[in-house]
Amino acid sequence: MKIVVNTFSSVKTLCGFSEKEFNLNGKSSVGDVLNALFKEYNTLIKLKNKLLFAVNEEYCDESKILQDGDQLSIFPPVSGG
Amino acid sequence: MKKILLQKEQIDIEKAINEVGTEEDGAVVFFIGRPRKDSSICEVKYIEYEAFHSMAVKEIEKIINDAFQKWPITDCIVIHRFGRVELREASIIIAVSSHHREEAFSSVKYIIDTIKKTVPIWKTEFYFDGTSRVYDRS
């Protein structure tokens, strides 16, 4: 199945992309995708315990199981206002 | 009335003030957030805001709906800038009207406190020495 990963702020800087399509084999969680990203973009590990996640624009945690066509957004703690 | 805007342009504060409130409302509480010149690193020259636009609007809408559930308020406007915001410019305005002042004060505080925790918007500080830093509240 295919999902799209969106990144923002410092995550976008560390990964070098703002949007990228990923092919997943079988049942995968947000955490599985994150671990794959840590292997490919190892400087991202420094944000490991700070990252926030949203699937289809709803906040979730790493255990969320992904579905075909999902949009997974990964970003650091927010700082608006 | 509920209104949410994410915009690059400067905020027309007078227009926003005049949009909230009915003749029955005795209170309009207005919050203006602005970039601070001092930071832990260096003097700030300006700030750039990056937003996950569609999700940010949804999250602000949730916060406003919560405020309407918690307090008997009548109107609420939230306008947040993205892109470059200079010192002394408003980065965010929140305006809430209600019959009595307590609920307007309480809801404005709730809205800005929650926006700072949950709405996917990030700022980068640009300093007078030419450097910059992604602001990290964590």
d(CA B79, CA B7): 7
Report the pLDDT value the prediction gives residue A25, as an integer from 0 to 100: 87
The domains found in chain A, sorted by start residue, are 2-75 (3.10.20.30)
Mutate which: B58, B133, B136, vs A, most A CBs within 10 A: B136
B-chain CB neighbours of A78 within 8 Å are: 116-122, 137
Complete domains list, chain B, with CATH: 2-135 (3.90.1170.40)
Mean pLDDT, all residues of chain A? 95
Chain B residues with CB within 8 Å of chain A CB? 33, 49-52, 54-56, 58, 80, 91-92, 112, 115-124, 134-138
A40-53: average pLDDT = 94
Q: Residue B137's pLDDT is what? A: 65
The contacts found for B112-116 with CB under 8 angstroms, 24 or more apart, are B112/A81, B112/B31, B112/B33, B114/B63, B114/B66, B115/A80, B115/A81, B115/B59, B115/B60, B115/B63, B115/B78, B115/B80, B116/A78, B116/A79, B116/A80, B116/A81
What stretches of chain A adopt beta strand conformation (E)? 2-7, 19-23, 52-55, 58-60, 71-75
User: pTM above 0.80?
Assistant: yes
Residue in A closest to B94 by C-alpha: A81
Which pLDDT does position B138 carry in this prediction?
57
What's the average model confidence in pLDDT over A69-77? 97
Contact flag A54-B50 (C-beta cutoff 8 Å): no
Per-residue pLDDT of chain B (138 residues; tens, 9 = 90+): 999 999 999 999 999 999 999 999 999 999 999 999 987 778 999 999 999 999 999 999 999 999 999 999 999 999 999 999 999 999 999 999 999 999 999 999 999 999 999 999 999 999 999 999 888 665
